[in-house]
A and B are shown apart, each in its own frame.
Chain A
Amino acid sequence: MRTYEVFLKREGKDEFRHAGSLDAATPELALVLARENYARRAEGRLMWVVDRADILTADESFLAPNVDRPHRHNDGALVAARRRAQRESS
């Protein structure tokens, strides 16, 4: 038995989403089980089934360097403050 992760994509603009996991003896059976467990009522138009062992995983420590990067965001606060000041002075 191997563990697989199942992803489904609905009709339309949505992205692929993780649906859940399953244990299956072969890739072919993994596809059938994925259909019968996760797409029983046509919940997706496309499906990816991936062997869990083939997924590269990065944890929070790997992603951490990009958490504190305020210069990559601009919340517009400075511009808003400036406009407000202009409005109030006019």
Chain B
Amino acid sequence: MSTRTWHDLGDPGDLDGFVAFLAEGGIVEPGDPMPDEYRREVFRFIELHANSELMGGLTERDWIPKAPGLRRKMAIIAKTQDEIGHAHLLYMVASDMGVKTRDQMLTDLFAGRSRFHNVFHYAAVTWADQVAIAYLVDAAALISQQAVLKVCSYGPYRRILKRIVAEEGFHMRHGEEMLLTFAEGTEIQRRMFQEALDRWWLPALQLFGPDSKPDDELITFRIKSEPNEVLRDRWVQKYAPLLTGYGFTVPDPDLRHDPDTGRWEIGEIDWSHLKATLANAGPDSARRIGDAARHWADTAWVRDALERTSARAA
């Protein structure tokens, strides 16, 4: 039997031993005596992911009443349920790490004290923005999540990610189908998507974050398998030609296709936008956090009713 668990090896203070255990493909389970650094970093990562699914789901929700046609409305309802469901699963995994309860995580999120992905700090202006998000942002999220799934050392996160990645695949196809409608549509529709692309290209590109530091703890702890710049480049190589192929213009004047290497080279990235979103000071941050907090408060009566049912049943 070759499966060792950290539980056998046992000393949470032995960080080097723990890192070596992870490097051999070791998997950590919630009851294992993991080093504090690992618990803290992995928890932060999962909390960020959970918050992002919730904030992303709420973005979708805004568009349910405005979705063009019943079929798209049903698809976007399903997608919203998926995203809120992902948040639900991730908050369970995160709270089992024993750092914060789910209530604490939500309280922190609504108070603007925690982080969620940069892309959910911008306003979705038209339905085409929603399509750009479904196509470009979901693709970026999927690339990041696949890279985590490749090595993910934390057992419960790994298992839940499998399910999330499968569902994000549906969202991608949904996004691409809607993009095709725009690409093959009227001049007004094509212009609408181009404007959305102008707004969303950079935020989606920045979802991967700046280049990873050489000693990135999340790579050492086998949560991320590849540095941010590699994932970002994978996304560029795939989506720059797809968008150009549909006849849209990528809003990067320095973007060029190198005929010798066959690669797409992008221009210098302005990171100031990302920094603002990290401080919850993006263009739409305040409204989004306020809306999320209001939704939570507005639905308190449902939770209260459930609690009362639960008390009566006991």
Contacts and interface: CB of A to CB of B under 8 A. Distances in A.
The judgment on whether A and B are partners is: yes
A22 interface: yes
Interface stretch (B11-19, B85-93, B116-124, B195-203): B85-93
Contacts of A60: 5, 7-8
B39 interface: no
Contacts of A18: 159
Interface in B78-104: 81-82, 85, 88-89, 92-93, 96, 102
Interface in A4-29: 18-23, 25-27, 29
A22 B310 contact: no
B109 to A, nearest CB: 17
A40 interface: yes
B313 interface: yes
B92 A22 contact: yes
Contact of B96 (A21, A25, A59): A21
A1 B303 CA distance: 10
Interface residues of B, number: 24
Given A23-B102, A37-B85, A67 B1 contact: yes
Contact of B82 (A19, A23, A40): A40
A67 to B, nearest CB: 7
Contacts of B1: 67
Contact of B310 (A20, A26, A36, A40): A26
Shortest 3 CB-CB contacts between residues of A and residues of B: A25-B310, A25-B306, A37-B85
Interface of A: 1-3, 18-23, 25-27, 29, 33, 36-38, 40-41, 59-60, 67
Interface of B: 1, 5, 7-8, 31, 81-82, 85, 88-89, 92-93, 96, 102, 156, 159-160, 163, 167, 306-307, 309-310, 313
